[in-house]
């Protein structure tokens, strides 16, 4: 079975790795969450009732959303060990065969995927900016350097992506362990001066908070959600480390450190209400401010790295499942399958993230834009997991309605509380998500229509083989490999080449690549070779959606299994469709234009399938849509 190197490691190394990759986002939330509740645009008055109420909400948000929903429930929905929104879509679609249901699930999943990218833009910006803002506490005279320094750090982070993160990744776990230990120690030191703050764990304080503050208290949920950003990473990175190391790391280290730090910040605010300007850094002794700023910056860079790597990974999955056009993918490690670099996504994220830092200028302003994409994606996760619970786990509808209904109420409450943020910056991740959703929808629909057009113009492979059997054409030496996505039809490049040149190669290979809705397939189950007669062979090579097609490698495997061809002189024929927009297209005209533009800019099949440049011939055809 082909898998990643990390899965061979022992339990404790996997736990360390999980701390470094999985928990970066949620682990850096104490930098800004409590400050935004009492110091942001919807600031609450600093009173014992409000502090106890907010701490209660943060604790129970961590407990209900992360500990219960993601750690205990959603992580059970693994697609052969892999997680993430694409795995959820694949599982939810697996047992739904009605077109309307599949379309609805697909659209919901695509929107969740698009929101992930919107969240991925804000996370690095707010994390790094909030860490550098420690200068406002340590040296107020240097406050005007905060934004330029944050931009410089983020530019460096995106610049090194092409170099690969294998070596840097080895330090992620130990650094984040130090970070969480510091969170714990800083919070514990503050709690020694006010141990009564532990009463805030009582959920009645949260209920009393809503009763007292009513609408204002409800709006505070939009800031409390900052404490649980990054919850999706627990599920998305499950394939890297496994569910047990992720669960163990959460309950043994991450969860206690977060709770103790939030409680310590709350105790500090009650002792000194002025500390609300930056309660995290004011927990730190004056002698430790600069080292803590350095550690915070490093932790937020690690958190940002996890989000960026996740965007690369989900892009590859979307390409493999045909939700996005082919793009250039660069593997940055020979031992880690999951380490890839996607230049187009990296450029998009870099421009967006740096633009957000410059445009918003502070973590407080960015907090107004943060949350709407996170809560939208979490709500979609709940909906897809409900379908899986019914279809895959065969839960009774009442059990699904009870449990998932409870999760959905929490998600929708957080989502509704973030709606007022839309005019103040929340529109940005929504706009980004909407644009990406339309792009993915246009690509998916356009590809379906293109396949239908090509299929209508296709000739039966069986009829063609019968024809050349009864009237043998001229055969020339060598092997011709034709890429085709259809088993029952003659590949158009083959038909075009034969019609124009009136000859066939002695050996003709029809190569079909299938991407399954599972993450990985073993070599043994990947290849199928069929002798069609008349020198024709059909090879079907199957990949999981986390694997990258390599046609020469697949053909070499077929030769080792007995395929009687000489590949050194093989010529690969690839069809190249040129699209024309008709006056009455089969999809909305501007969606059709978007699809045509994406199609023209997609990476060529030669590059995507790793076919040697010198051995390729492209044959074009005009197609109206």
Per-residue pLDDT band for 488 (boundaries 50, 70, 90) equals: low
Is the alpha carbon torsion for 237, 238, 239, 240 positive or negative? positive
| Res 185 pLDDT > 90 | yes
User: What is the reported pLDDT for 525?
Assistant: 66
- Residue of 531, 538, 486 lying closest to 510 (CA atoms): 538
- Looking at residue 169, its pLDDT comes to 54
Residue 330 pLDDT class (50, 70, 90 cuts): confident
Q: pLDDT band for position 524 (50/70/90)?
A: low
In whole angstroms, what separates CA 576 from the centre of its chain?
30
Would the pLDDT of 5 be above 50? Answer: no
Q: How far is CA 540 from CA 184, 256, 487, in A?
A: 54, 51, 9
SS3 content of the chain, % helix, strand, coil (to 5): 70, 10, 20
Looking at the predicted structure, is the pLDDT value of residue 365 above 80?
A: yes
Question: Is the pLDDT assigned to residue 20 strictly greater than 50?
Answer: yes
SS3 (DSSP) at 133: coil
Contact 370, 229 (CB under 8 A): yes
**Residue, of 335 and 126, whose pLDDT is higher:** 126
Residue 281: per-residue pLDDT: 93
Q: In this structure, are residues 353 and 124 in contact, taking their beta carbons and an 8 Å threshold?
A: yes
Contact (CB, 8 A) for 61 and 26: no
Look at residue 1 in the predicted model and tell me its pLDDT: 35
**Is 392 strand, coil or helix?**
coil
pLDDT in tens, 380-396: 999 999 999 999 899 99
**Closest C-alpha among 58, 41, 31, 37 to residue 123:** 31
What is the pLDDT confidence band of residue 170, given thresholds at 50, 70 and 90? low
Give the pLDDT mean for 518-542. 83
Nearest to 157, CA basis, from 117, 133, 123 = 123
Using CA atoms, how far apart are residues 373 and 428, in angstroms rounded to an integer?
9
- Residue 461 near residue 489, CB atoms below 8 Å: yes
Please tell me the pTM assigned to this model: 0.80
Identify the pLDDT of residue 6.
Answer: 38
- Band the pLDDT of 249: cuts 50, 70, 90: very high
Question: Above 80 in pLDDT, residue 127?
Answer: yes
Q: Residue 293: what pLDDT? A: 92
pLDDT for residue 218: 87
pLDDT for the residue 7: 44
Q: Tell me the average pLDDT across 99-105.
A: 86
Q: Which residues contact 103 (CB under 8 A, 6 or more apart)?
A: none
Domains and CATH numbers, the chain: 12-419 (1.20.1740.10), 453-624 (3.40.50)
**pLDDT of the residue at 3:** 41
How much is the pLDDT for 586? 74
What mean pLDDT comes out for the span 503-520?
84
What pLDDT does 334 receive?
47
Q: Is residue 204's pLDDT more than 90? A: yes
Average pLDDT of the segment spanning 548-555:
85
Give percent above pLDDT 90 in the chain.
29
Average pLDDT over residues 97-124: 86
Mean pLDDT of 421-427: 86
Would you state the pLDDT for residue 486? Answer: 63
- Per-residue pLDDT averaged across 521-547, rounded? 83
pLDDT in tens, 140-169: 888 888 999 999 999 998 888 877 655 555
pLDDT (average), residues 453-469: 82
Question: 212-236, pLDDT tens digit by residue?
Answer: 888 888 888 888 998 998 887 777 7
pLDDT at 41 over 80: no
**DSSP label at 489?**
B
What pLDDT sits at residue 168? 54
What mean pLDDT, rounded, does the chain reach?
85
Confidence band of 407 (pLDDT split at 50, 70, 90):
very high
Q: How far apart are CA 363 and CA 280, in angstroms?
A: 13
The pLDDT of residue 180 is above 50: yes
Q: Which of 442, 610, 618 minimizes the C-alpha distance to 541?
A: 610
Range from 282-291, 361-370, 425-434 carrying the lowest mean pLDDT: 361-370
Encode pLDDT of 266-311 as tens digits: 999 999 998 998 999 999 999 999 999 999 999 988 888 878 877 8
């Amino acid at each position: 079975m082909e898998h990643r190197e990390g899965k061979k490691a022992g339990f404790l190394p996997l736990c360390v790795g999980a701390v470094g990759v999985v928990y970066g986002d949620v682990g850096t939330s104490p930098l800004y969450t409590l400050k935004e509740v009492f110091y942001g645009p919807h600031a609450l008055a600093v009173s014992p009732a409000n502090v106890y109420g907010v701490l209660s909400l943060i604790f129970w948000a961590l407990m209900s959303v992360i500990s219960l929903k993601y750690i205990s429930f959603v992580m059970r929905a693994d697609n052969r060990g892999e997680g993430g929104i694409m795995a959820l879509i694949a599982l939810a679609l697996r047992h739904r065969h009605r077109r309307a249901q599949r379309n609805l699930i697909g659209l919901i999943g695509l929107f969740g995927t698009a929101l992930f990218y919107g969240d991925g833009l804000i996370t690095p910006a707010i994390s790094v900016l909030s860490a550098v803002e420690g200068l406002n506490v340590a040296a107020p005279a240097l406050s005007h350097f905060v934004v330029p320094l944050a931009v410089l750090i983020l530019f460096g982070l995106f610049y090194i992506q092409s170099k690969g993160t294998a070596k840097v990744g080895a330090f992620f776990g130990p650094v984040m362990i130090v970070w969480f230990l510091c969170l714990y120690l800083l919070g514990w030191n503050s709690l020694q001066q006010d141990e009564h703050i532990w009463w805030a764990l009582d959920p009645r304080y949260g209920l009393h908070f809503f009763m007292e503050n009513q609408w204002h208290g409800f709006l505070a949920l939009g800031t409390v959600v900052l404490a649980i950003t990054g919850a999706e990473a627990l599920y998305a990175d499950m394939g890297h480390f496994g569910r047990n190391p992720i669960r163990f790391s959460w309950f043994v280290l991450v969860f206690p450190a977060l709770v103790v730090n939030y409680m310590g910040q709350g105790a500090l605010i009650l002792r000194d209400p002025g500390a609300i300007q930056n309660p995290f850094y004011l927990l730190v002794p004056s002698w430790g401010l600069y080292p803590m700023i350095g550690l915070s910056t490093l932790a937020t860079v690690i958190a940002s790295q996890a989000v960026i790597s996740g965007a690369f990974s989900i892009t590859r999955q979307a390409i493999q499942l045909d939700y996005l056009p082919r793009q250039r993918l660069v593997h940055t490690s020979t031992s880690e399958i999951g380490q890839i670099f996607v230049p187009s996504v990296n450029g998009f994220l870099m421009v967006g993230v740096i633009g957000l830092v410059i445009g918003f200028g502070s973590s407080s302003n960015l907090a107004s834009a943060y949350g709407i994409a996170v809560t939208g994606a979490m709500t979609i996760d709940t909906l897809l997991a409900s379908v899986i619970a019914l279809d895959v786990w065969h839960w009774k509808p009442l059990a699904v309605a009870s449990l998932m209904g409870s999760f959905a109420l929490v998600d929708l409450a957080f989502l509704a509380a973030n709606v007022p943020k839309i005019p103040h910056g929340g529109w940005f991740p929504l706009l980004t998500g909407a644009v990406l959703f339309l792009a993915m929808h246009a690509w998916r629909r356009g590809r379906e229509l293109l396949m239908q057009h090509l299929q209508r113009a296709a000739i039966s492979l069986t009829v063609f083989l019968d024809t050349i059997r009864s009237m043998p054409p001229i055969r020339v030496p060598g092997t011709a490999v034709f890429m085709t996505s259809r088993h029952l039809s003659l590949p158009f490049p083959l038909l075009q080449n034969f019609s124009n040149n009136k000859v066939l190669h002695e050996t003709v290979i029809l190569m079909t690549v299938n991407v399954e809705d599972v993450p990985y397939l073993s070599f043994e189950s990947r290849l199928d070779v069929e002798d069609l007669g008349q020198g024709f062979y059909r090879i079907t090579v199957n990949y999981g959606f986390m694997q990258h097609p390599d046609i020469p490698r697949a053909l070499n495997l077929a030769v080792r299994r007995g395929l009687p061809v000489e590949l050194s002189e093989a010529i690969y024929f690839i069809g190249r469709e040129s699209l024309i927009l008709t006056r009455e297209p089969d999809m909305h005209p501007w969606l059709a234009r978007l699809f045509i533009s994406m199609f023209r800019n997609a990476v060529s099949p030669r590059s995507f399938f790793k076919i040697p440049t010198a051995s390729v011939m492209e044959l074009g055809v005009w197609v109206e849509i």
